[in-house]
Amino acid sequence: MHTTTAKAISLGLSESDWALISPPLLAQLAAGRHIKLTPTDRGRIPKTTLAVLAVGGFIELTRYERDSFSPHTLVMLALSDRAELKDSELVRLSADLRAIVKNKLTRLSSN
């Protein structure tokens, strides 16, 4: 059974009713740990909301999802300790943003 179908049935909703749930409500349900977002659900939620959910520790972002984020959002994720940026992501950052991330990593490794 498809994950969305199983989730909808477990909540007493048809799959078509599930598709009508607004993205903000999906995010609230995920933040409350009432549901686990499927890739389809994540695609309906704005990128900024996904970033906030990740910073809050409610979801873990895939590399594909992070690829569409701005450099500032990547830094926010890195500074919140919710994502370890790969070298290819660090290259996208300006020198000053890269320095901020590297300083954070240096402080963490010295503790």
Q: What is the pLDDT of residue 6?
A: 54
| Same domain membership, residue 50 and residue 38 | no
Whole-structure pTM value: 0.77
* Chain segment 22-65, per-residue pLDDT in tens: 999 999 999 998 888 888 899 999 999 999 999 999 999 988 89
| Same domain membership, residue 99 and residue 58 | yes
| Same domain membership, residue 51 and residue 19 | no
Q: What is the pLDDT of residue 86?
A: 85
Under the banding of pLDDT at 50, 70 and 90, the label for residue 111 is low
- DSSP symbols for 16-79: HHHHTS-HHHHHHHHHTTS----HHHHHHS-HHHHHHHHHTTS----HHHHHTS-HHHHHHHHH
Q: What is the pLDDT of residue 10?
A: 61
Q: What is the pLDDT of residue 14?
A: 80
| Same domain membership, residue 2 and residue 37 | yes
* Chain segment 64-106, per-residue pLDDT in tens: 899 889 999 999 988 888 778 888 888 999 999 999 988 887 7
Range of the domain at 77: 46-111
